[in-house]
Chains A and B, each alone.
Chain A
């Protein structure tokens, strides 16, 4: 970059052409501090991963995946929690993707941003994205588990609560993906006589799919790790059976981890660490796919 060489020149010489050691030192210290700021996050991530892996190592075996929760730490496993998380994922995928992408298509392709109701929707989504997750738990408790819907403490109530939680993420990511499709593609489609929906469904959406998939994965990985709202929904932490339907009681992996963390015995901490490793492996795999998708389609020629 041209700016780099210009700045280097400015640091080393002043007007008289003399070296200004003080300035150079200041610049060095400043840059070192900036670098340390960046490194802090990365170091913490590394320490966290190593610590969890070391702590959980003794229990990282098939028993963890195949056994059910137990009061005796030696026999305890997380099978019902893993199946509960899989069911929750199914519900979140089936509901949040059509709803979220529908809203994203509406806002990007159809909505007139000057109308007050469209502005209201947009402001709402921005705000909902920053509402604490525990408030969604309260919503799920009062509206879905009890109250008008009365679903009880079931998988469906949990899954729908998580759907509401990740919807803003999916909508925002979907909008960005749709916005990145160049307008010339739309105009070409219109010029060939396509209707608006034909243009959107056959030209814009296929072109936006990698970006939307990235957004979907990000939303989903948020849902997998979310604990607080499910606690309020009373996701039972001692469930020794796999869920068998939408109205089944359930537990989920992060809930099971929280349950093990909050027990006094040290053996349960080991179990918690081992389950965290399982959770992180799943999340890191999903993250890698999202990053790969984005890098692969980021600079494609349209």
Chain B
């Protein structure tokens, strides 16, 4: 380093000029900090390793054809049945209803915050959204079960049969509200990054605010917005407590949201409550379903990260 060099010149001509005294303390600090960073890689490796062996054990007993093909999920029954499809469908249904809430309303809130709201409103509202995002999911689960689900039963007019107290719809809708702040804040970030010149240009051509918002700002920010949607899917697929509490824990191959269902996460949670003996088939199913869940969310996350990166390249 240049600093050490200038100090060394007058008194110690023993070392060739231009070579700094090695600073071992500094190097040790960098090494320690690097290890902190490396811990994240170690975590991922540990996740994969901890899933791998039990999954291999599981598929030694259950054929992949049955796991991904059968419509029956009853791992603890006799005879057992290991079709993961009902859990996948349960995840699909609850996530779908979450998206029905969080995508339109999250995007709407983002457009309002980015294009319409005054600075004062923005400063007041954003902390509220953060509080909403910070509410523990067990609380949302309680809310879904004791408020939203009875409310749905009271106001149900779509069919004669009222929804069960435990149903996919209530869990999904509440999950949507839980994810809404994520969509709103990520989409708003993307829209704020759209250069002011684009808006000014559109206004100069006589566009209304509505036209500028929907035909200039949203298209320009689209990859960031889509990334927020993709991340919302990942959150919905991975959410555990709301569905564990409110969706009914009934591995049911149905797309009817008024029925109780069980998601992949809820199965893992429900099976993990008891003390599952290591090596038992119940223990292995946790890992088989967990690995499926991890693979799905990993795929979704990589798509989202790529989209965010593309959107960053455009405006930075």
A residues in contact (CB < 8 Å) with B: 3, 6-7, 10-11, 15, 23, 26-27, 30-31, 33-38, 40-42, 44-45, 47-48, 51-52, 55, 98-100, 102-103, 105-107, 110-111, 118, 120-121, 123-128, 130-139, 141-143, 146-147, 164, 167-168, 171, 190, 193-197, 218, 221-222, 224-228, 231-232, 234, 254, 257-258, 261-262, 269, 272-273, 276, 279-280, 283-284, 287, 291
B19 on the A face (CB < 8 A): no
Knowing A41-B177, A134-B238, A231-B272 are in contact, say whether A197-B25 is a contact too (CB < 8 A). yes
Which of B60-68, B99-107, B253-261 contacts its partner?
B99-107
B29 in contact with A197 (CB, 8 Å): yes
Instruction: Note all chain B residues with C-beta closer than 8 A to A37.
Output: 104-109, 112
A11 in contact with B132 (CB, 8 Å): no
Rounded to whole angstroms, the CA-CA distance of A107 and B34 in the bound complex is: 8
Instruction: Note all chain B residues with C-beta closer than 8 A to A33.
Output: 108
**C-beta contact mask, B24-53 vs A, less than 8 Å → 1, else 0?**
011001101111111111011011011100
Q: Smallest Cβ distance from A1 to chain B, in angstroms?
A: 9
A106 in contact with B240 (CB, 8 Å): no
Knowing A40-B180, A195-B23 are in contact, say whether A134-B134 is a contact too (CB < 8 A). no
Q: Smallest Cβ distance from A157 to chain B, in angstroms?
A: 13
Rounded to whole angstroms, the CA-CA distance of A17 and B298 in the bound complex is: 55
A34 in contact with B116 (CB, 8 Å): yes
B113 on the A face (CB < 8 A): yes
Knowing A102-B36, A111-B37 are in contact, say whether A279-B116 is a contact too (CB < 8 A). no
Can you list 29 residue pairs at the A/B interface with Cβ under 8 Å? A3-B203, A23-B208, A31-B210, A38-B184, A52-B139, A52-B142, A102-B32, A102-B35, A105-B33, A107-B37, A120-B41, A127-B298, A128-B43, A128-B44, A130-B234, A131-B297, A132-B237, A132-B238, A132-B265, A134-B268, A164-B43, A193-B3, A197-B26, A228-B240, A228-B265, A232-B272, A261-B245, A269-B146, A291-B127
The residue on B at minimum CB distance from A101 is B36
Which B residues, 262 to 283, have Cβ-Cβ distances below 8 Å to chain A?
265, 268-269, 272-273, 275, 278
The residue on A at minimum CB distance from B308 is A126
5 nearest A-B pairs in the assembled complex, by CB-CB distance: A132-B238, A225-B136, A37-B108, A102-B36, A142-B50
Most buried by B among A7, A111, A193, A224: A7
Question: Which listed residue, A38, A107, A258, touches B125 by the CB 8 Å rule?
Answer: A38
Q: Smallest Cβ distance from A146 to chain B, in angstroms?
A: 6
B206 on the A face (CB < 8 A): yes
Instruction: Note all chain B residues with C-beta closer than 8 A to A234.
Output: 272-273, 275
Instruction: Note all chain B residues with C-beta closer than 8 A to A11.
Output: 208-209
B17 on the A face (CB < 8 A): no
Knowing A37-B107, A280-B139 are in contact, say whether A10-B203 is a contact too (CB < 8 A). yes
Instruction: Note all chain A residues with C-beta closer than 8 A to B169.
Output: none
Which of B77-85, B155-163, B286-294 contacts its partner?
B286-294
The residue on A at minimum CB distance from B112 is A34
Instruction: Note all chain A residues with C-beta closer than 8 A to B192.
Output: none
A133 in contact with B238 (CB, 8 Å): yes
Question: Which listed residue, B40, B142, B237, B293, touches A128 by the CB 8 Å rule?
Answer: B40
B40 in contact with A26 (CB, 8 Å): no
Rounded to whole angstroms, the CA-CA distance of A254 and B26 in the bound complex is: 43
Q: Smallest Cβ distance from A46 to chain B, in angstroms?
A: 9
Knowing A106-B37, A142-B50, A254-B136 are in contact, say whether A132-B240 is a contact too (CB < 8 A). yes
Instruction: Note all chain B residues with C-beta closer than 8 A to A102.
Output: 32-33, 35-37
Instruction: Note all chain A residues with C-beta closer than 8 A to B33.
Output: 102-103, 105-106, 110
A225 in contact with B44 (CB, 8 Å): no
Knowing A27-B209, A226-B136, A276-B139 are in contact, say whether A143-B147 is a contact too (CB < 8 A). no
Most buried by A among B32, B104, B107, B268: B268
Knowing A40-B177, A197-B29 are in contact, say whether A261-B134 is a contact too (CB < 8 A). no
Instruction: Note all chain B residues with C-beta closer than 8 A to A3.
Output: 199-200, 203, 209
B128 in contact with A27 (CB, 8 Å): no
A222 in contact with B134 (CB, 8 Å): yes
Rounded to whole angstroms, the CA-CA distance of A26 and B209 in the bound complex is: 11
Question: Which listed residue, A34, A99, A226, touches B108 by the CB 8 Å rule?
Answer: A34
Q: Smallest Cβ distance from B102 to chain A, in angstroms?
A: 10
Rounded to whole angstroms, the CA-CA distance of A196 and B27 in the bound complex is: 10
The residue on A at minimum CB distance from B125 is A38
Rounded to whole angstroms, the CA-CA distance of A103 and B34 in the bound complex is: 7
Q: Smallest Cβ distance from B7 to chain A, in angstroms?
A: 8
B304 in contact with A130 (CB, 8 Å): yes
Rounded to whole angstroms, the CA-CA distance of A212 and B306 in the bound complex is: 27
Question: Which listed residue, B30, B105, B294, touches A135 by the CB 8 Å rule?
Answer: B294
Rounded to whole angstroms, the CA-CA distance of A197 and B265 in the bound complex is: 44
B203 in contact with A6 (CB, 8 Å): yes
